[in-house]
Structure 1
Amino acid sequence: MNIDELKTDFDKAEALLHVLTETATGKERYPRLYSDLRNFFYNSSYKKFMPQWLNNIWTLDIFWSHIKPKFDHYWERREYLAEELSPLLNACQGTHNILTLQSDIIEDFSSIGVNDCWRKMLERVESDPDGAITMARTTMETVLKHLADELHETYSPQEDFSVLYKKVAKRLNLSPDNHEEQLFKSILGGCSAIAGGLGRIRNLYGDAHGQGVKQLRPHIRHARLAVNSSATLCLFLLETYEFQNGKSR
């Protein structure tokens, strides 16, 4: 096995646990894979989830010298490693969930598909507010880019979030400037503000970026607001697109 065969970050985290467990229980060693996995995680935003004692464990020989005198029984070593690597596995599972969410939206690009993703995001709100906020922003971005593609609207891969929303809204005749009624102008202007706000709140709170010394932690209510705002706006955009293309009742 080599690191290139591991498709997701969660796969890599599981492989790291497996490699350490195999060494700790006197089985086959994978020195090259261990080195590659260790370098991958220590050169990524996942570094903060790595066990502190692993900082100086550059090789499996050093790891064996560390783990052998620590526990007499293999089962103790397995339990220890599983507990120590659990923060990393949980963090990578969150990334895996986000990738799955993107895939689900693309596979079922409809209001029904977004409703299903909405449910998945809400399920994560209380246990992982950071991750829920990241998923809310990811859902919005995925829907906007997919709509832009369907509407033949050009954009750059790193398009500013609010700019991308305005491009799609204009194509769907949802720009406030396209409406004379003050009520609709206010509502549609609010939609634009929500889109821009989701991008900014994710930069402050979401788990897709590394955090500095002073970490901002969102409350559950913040995560729920982000999730519900994202899902509601995505549904509105999708239903508008479906209506204009004769795909809705």
Structure 2
Amino acid sequence: MDVEDLPESIIERVTMMEGILIDSATGGSADNRVYEYLRRDFMADDTLKMLLPSFVRTYRNLSAFWPFIKSQAGSYAECRQIISSAFTPIIEHLEGANRAPIDAVAGEALASFDADGVHAVWAKALSRRAADPEGAITVARTLLETVCKRVLDECGIRYGYKDDLPKLYGLAARELNMAPDQHIEEPIRMILGGAMNLVNGIGTLRNRFSDAHAPGGKIPVRPSARHAALAVNMAGAMATFMVETYVQQLGKEGA
């Protein structure tokens, strides 16, 4: 097949790559030129790159891929299973299986606030949510830290280089009139107190489960995709709440 004849749909292209790799691993006639073309195309997209199977990111051509898959499987059936399972995260992402209601809402709010900074971190968190749980939890905290720092910078509030997330959030929340003790209505105080606990919880989740541990450090429980989804979705909701509060309280549309 000539590259000009490739399907336009991304999911069809991903499925085609999966088929090429299965053909290569099971004695079929695989097109290395198309594989290399598709790989370059997917690797140029930060979101798709993180969802690609690790062996696609590692091996630039089918000749390099063959020794790997040969060492991993003893039969053609095992080869097919390994390759198909590895492609599940990216295919589910493209089919929308891993999308959450907050994705589009947060994406729009964060892009209008800071497309190059805050929104870029959000996109990174989404790209890792299914394929890299430990990394996703790390980026969830980074998202909130980035939003807090951006708000504080815009408001001219100084903060320490080593200030942790609870400290940064406390400063930003007070500037945005989001601190519980700034309100007398009990329901509002409870909601804002819950928001503060939520932010602290994301920090704790990140410390216990994320990939921020030193190499060789023991992680008590390996995070799964559901842990990552919890952290990313909560961080996205809180980041959106802060941005919308910033716009409403200070009457700014962002940079």
TMscore range, shorter length: 0.5 to 0.7
Counterpart in the other structure of 1:195: 199
1:126 deviation in Å?
A: 1.9
Q: How big is each residue's C-alpha offset from its partner over 1:35-74, in whole Å with a ceiling of 9 and x where there is no partner? A: xxxxxxxxxxxxxxxxxxxxxxxxxxxxxxxxxxxxxxxx
Q: For residues 109 and 207 of structure 1, do their structure 2 counterparts lie closer, same or farther at Cα, with a shift above 3 Å needed?
A: farther
Is the Cα–Cα contact under 8 Å of residues 121 and 139 in structure 2 kept in the other structure?
Answer: no
Task: Please tell me whether residue 237 in structure 1 is matched to residue 242 in structure 2.
Answer: yes
1:188 deviation in Å?
A: 0.2
Distance in 2 (alpha carbons) for counterparts of 1:196 and 1:207:
18
1:216 deviation in Å?
A: 2.4
Task: Please tell me whether residue 227 in structure 1 is matched to residue 223 in structure 2.
Answer: no
Counterpart in the other structure of 1:175: 179
Distance in 1 (alpha carbons) for counterparts of 2:157 and 2:171:
7
Tell me the amino acid that sits aligned with residue 170 of structure 2.
Answer: K
Distance in 2 (alpha carbons) for counterparts of 1:229 and 1:205:
16
Task: Please tell me whether residue 155 in structure 1 is matched to residue 162 in structure 2.
Answer: no
Distance in 1 (alpha carbons) for counterparts of 2:142 and 2:219:
24
- Normalising by structure 2, report the TM-score: 0.52
Q: How many residues end up aligned between the 2 structures?
A: 154
Counterpart in the other structure of 1:139: 143
Is the Cα–Cα contact under 8 Å of residues 125 and 232 in structure 2 kept in the other structure?
Answer: yes
Distance in 2 (alpha carbons) for counterparts of 1:157 and 1:230:
21
Distance in 2 (alpha carbons) for counterparts of 1:115 and 1:78:
35
Q: For residues 159 and 179 of structure 1, do their structure 2 counterparts lie closer, same or farther at Cα, with a shift above 3 Å needed?
A: same
1:110 aligned counterpart, secondary structure: helix
Tell me the amino acid that sits aligned with residue 157 of structure 2.
Answer: E
Is the Cα–Cα contact under 8 Å of residues 202 and 235 in structure 2 kept in the other structure?
Answer: yes
Is the Cα–Cα contact under 8 Å of residues 209 and 219 in structure 2 kept in the other structure?
Answer: no
Distance in 1 (alpha carbons) for counterparts of 2:210 and 2:148:
19
Q: How big is each residue's C-alpha offset from its partner over 1:60-108, in whole Å with a ceiling of 9 and x where there is no partner? A: xxxxxxxxxxxxxxx9779769x99xxxxxxxxxxxxxxxxxxx9xx95
C-alpha RMSD of matched pairs (Å): 3.4
Q: How big is each residue's C-alpha offset from its partner over 1:7-45, in whole Å with a ceiling of 9 and x where there is no partner? A: xxxxxxxxxxxxxxxxxxxxxxxxxxxxxxxxxxxxxxx
Q: What percent of counterpart residues are identical?
A: 39
Distance in 2 (alpha carbons) for counterparts of 1:173 and 1:122:
29
Is the Cα–Cα contact under 8 Å of residues 138 and 206 in structure 2 kept in the other structure?
Answer: yes
Is the Cα–Cα contact under 8 Å of residues 115 and 231 in structure 1 kept in the other structure?
Answer: no
Is the Cα–Cα contact under 8 Å of residues 111 and 235 in structure 1 kept in the other structure?
Answer: no
1:162 aligned counterpart, secondary structure: helix
Counterpart in the other structure of 2:222: 217
- Normalising by structure 1, report the TM-score: 0.53
Tell me the amino acid that sits aligned with residue 110 of structure 1.
Answer: F
Tell me the amino acid that sits aligned with residue 250 of structure 2.
Answer: N
Distance in 1 (alpha carbons) for counterparts of 2:203 and 2:164:
9
Distance in 1 (alpha carbons) for counterparts of 2:157 and 2:123:
29
Is the Cα–Cα contact under 8 Å of residues 111 and 239 in structure 1 kept in the other structure?
Answer: no
1:209 deviation in Å?
A: 2.4
Distance in 2 (alpha carbons) for counterparts of 1:213 and 1:117:
27
1:117 deviation in Å?
A: 5.3
Task: Please tell me whether residue 128 in structure 1 is matched to residue 132 in structure 2.
Answer: yes
1:175 deviation in Å?
A: 0.7
Is the Cα–Cα contact under 8 Å of residues 133 and 205 in structure 1 kept in the other structure?
Answer: yes
Task: Please tell me whether residue 208 in structure 1 is matched to residue 212 in structure 2.
Answer: yes
Give 1:12-27 correspondences, 5 Å limit. Answer: none
Q: How big is each residue's C-alpha offset from its partner over 1:146-196, in whole Å with a ceiling of 9 and x where there is no partner? A: 111111111111102211111110111111111111111011001111111
